[in-house]
């Protein structure tokens, strides 16, 4: 019988990064030497003390349901972290812990958006923001990627043409995925002054907070008290503590928003596994110093990636200041090949994987055709070999 499916959900795109990663794994299983630059996760293991804390929790029988929205000890520890590191004061009731920042962001979209509400998303953006908004019945309004690559990433002048009476929220990501841009203080202050009287939620995704190699990652909530009543901070443990598989993320914001997000969790994933919470608590008790050496390793890889890329003819990029990605501009190369008209990096990325066994996410996934995203959270030798293959693939376009 031909029973209809949800039209809204049928229109969603599956996560392109997850899809590419799956395809790369398939090729590797067939015996190919695949270089996977597509995944957004550090290649180092979760630190041992965190693993031990979770194992110990399992042994102690923490195998039952946890508390919806996160147990009080974990929410208190997150509040203490936000106070100490970000100078932001929250009550535990304003904090919700979810199954990854992705679940938190999805539930936030459901909690904030009414049918037709518009959400401003500056490109290039993390792949899931637009789909979350669509799933919630809202309209993602993409602020296009500035072509010149220079100057601040986001100014009030760039936002203004996209504002309507239906604008409901804006999403900020710094350090940024996929560009690796870290917003500067002056830029944040200018943005904060503009947003001060706007009736919009300001969703600040700060998941790459600890990965700022040049300059520092500062929250708009910290710098601009005038936006605090509409400010919603999102962060997690995946990147900063190499805990992607543990699935722990959180939000902090107005209590009424937190309450709705928590309600959604009670009706979906229910809670975080209790033993996972113990791992997260351990991570917070050890603090970001635990990962300092690893951040230096990532910085070294960033420098290596930039050096190798600068050597490839007609490849452009903004040297990234944070996160672990380089957003590589291959438009000049694509213009040389009729197969990749209109800067079709989607087709080029498919060919790069098929022929050269290198997986890189195409710019289309982030709202910026003609680019490839390189995740350099891989060993230096892998980075060098993968970029050698990219060079060969681009040379073949001539
Ligand atoms: C910008 C950004 N936000 C959120 C997430 C989701 O992280 P989590 O693993 O906590 O769901 C990612 C993961 O790639 C990301 O890049």
R_g of the chain, CA atoms, integer Å:
21
Q: Which residues pair with 171 in a beta bridge?
A: 203
Question: Do 326 and 252 share a domain, yes or no?
Answer: no
Task: Determine if the peptide bond prior to 145 is cis (ω within 30°).
Answer: no
Q: Does 244 contact ligand 1 (Cβ within 6 A)?
A: yes
Residue indicated by tokens 């809204």: 8
pTM score, whole prediction: 0.94
Q: Does 36 contact ligand 1 (Cβ within 6 A)?
A: no
Q: Nearest CA to 85 among 213, 244, 218?
A: 218
Domain, as residue range, for 378: 7-45+291-395
Question: Do 129 and 171 share a domain, yes or no?
Answer: yes
Q: Nearest CA to 238 among 205, 204, 195?
A: 205
Question: Do 183 and 216 share a domain, yes or no?
Answer: yes
Which CATH number characterizes residue 134's domain?
Answer: 3.40.640.10
Q: What is the mean pLDDT of each run of 10 residues along the chain (398 residues)?
A: 92 80 90 92 94 98 94 98 98 98 98 97 92 97 78 85 98 94 94 97 97 93 97 97 97 98 95 96 97 94 96 90 94 90 91 95 90 95 97 92
- Pick from 102, 153, 324 the residue to mutate for probing ligand 1's pocket: most ligand atoms within 8 Å of its CB: 102
Look at residue 148 in the predicted model and tell me its pLDDT. 65
Which CATH number characterizes residue 341's domain?
Answer: 3.90.1150.10
Question: Do 173 and 217 share a domain, yes or no?
Answer: yes
- Pick from 46, 121, 207 the residue to mutate for probing ligand 1's pocket: most ligand atoms within 8 Å of its CB: 207
3-class SS of residue 213: coil
Distance 31 CA to ligand 1 centre (A): 30
Task: Determine if the peptide bond prior to 124 is cis (ω within 30°).
Answer: yes
Distance 236 CA to ligand 1 centre (A): 8
Question: Do 297 and 268 share a domain, yes or no?
Answer: no
Look at residue 21 in the predicted model and tell me its pLDDT. 84
Contacts of 52 (CB under 8 A, 6+ apart): 282
Rounded to 5°, the CA angle 377-127-173 comes to 75
Q: Does 40 contact ligand 1 (Cβ within 6 A)?
A: yes
Question: Do 258 and 179 share a domain, yes or no?
Answer: yes
Q: Does 205 contact ligand 1 (Cβ within 6 A)?
A: yes
- 10, exposed or middle or buried, with CB in 10 Å at 0-12, 13-18, 19+? exposed
Classify residue 1 by its DSSP letter: -
Question: Do 272 and 306 share a domain, yes or no?
Answer: no
Distance 395 CA to ligand 1 centre (A): 33
- Structural domains counted in the chain: 2
Look at residue 15 in the predicted model and tell me its pLDDT. 76
Rounded Cα distance between 63 and 329, Å, is 47
Look at residue 136 in the predicted model and tell me its pLDDT. 97
Rounded Cα distance between 249 and 266, Å, is 16
Rounded Cα distance between 145 and 275, Å, is 41
Look at residue 151 in the predicted model and tell me its pLDDT. 59
């Amino acid at each position: 019988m031909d029973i209809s499916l949800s039209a809204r959900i049928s229109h969603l795109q599956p996560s392109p990064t997850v899809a590419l990663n799956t395809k790369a794994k398939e090729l590797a299983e067939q015996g190919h030497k695949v270089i996977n630059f597509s995944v957004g996760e550090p290649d180092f293991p979760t630190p041992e003390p965190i693993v031990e804390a979770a194992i110990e929790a399992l042994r102690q029988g923490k195998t039952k349901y946890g508390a919806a929205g996160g147990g009080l000890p974990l929410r208190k520890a997150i509040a203490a972290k936000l106070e100490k590191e970000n100078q932001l004061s929250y009550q535990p009731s304003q904090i919700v812990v979810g199954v990854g920042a992705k679940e938190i962001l999805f539930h936030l979209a459901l909690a904030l958006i009414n049918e037709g509400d518009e959400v401003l998303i500056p490109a290039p953006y993390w792949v899931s923001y637009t789909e979350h908004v669509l799933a919630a019945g809202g309209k993602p309004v993409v602020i296009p990627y500035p072509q010149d690559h220079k100057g601040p990433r986001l100014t009030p002048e760039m936002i203004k043409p996209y504002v309507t009476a239906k604008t409901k929220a804006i999403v900020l990501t710094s350090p940024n995925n996929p560009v690796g841009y870290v917003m500067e203080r002056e830029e944040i202050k200018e943005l904060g002054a503009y947003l001060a009287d706007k009736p919009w939620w300001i969703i600040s995704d700060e998941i790459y907070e600890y990965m700022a190699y040049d300059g520092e990652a500062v929250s708009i909530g910290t710098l601009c008290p005038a936006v605090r009543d509409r400010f919603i901070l999102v962060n997690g443990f995946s990147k900063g503590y190499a805990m992607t598989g543990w699935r722990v993320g959180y939000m902090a914001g107005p209590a009424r928003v937190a309450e709705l997000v928590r309600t959604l969790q009670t009706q979906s994933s229910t809670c975080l596994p209790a033993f996972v919470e113990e791992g997260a608590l351990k991570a917070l008790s050890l603090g970001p110093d635990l990962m300092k050496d690893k951040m230096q390793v990532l910085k070294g890889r960033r420098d290596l990636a930039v050096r190798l890329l600068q050597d490839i003819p007609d490849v452009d990029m903004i040297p990234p200041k944070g996160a672990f990605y380089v957003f590589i501009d291959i438009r000049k190369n694509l213009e040389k090949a009729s197969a990749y008209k209109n800067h079709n990096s989607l087709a080029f990325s498919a060919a790069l994987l098929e022929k050269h066994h290198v997986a890189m996410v195409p710019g289309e996934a982030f709202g910026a055709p003609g680019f490839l995203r390189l995740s350099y959270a891989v060993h230096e030798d892998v980075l060098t070999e993968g970029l050698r293959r990219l060079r060969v693939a681009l040379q073949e376009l001539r």
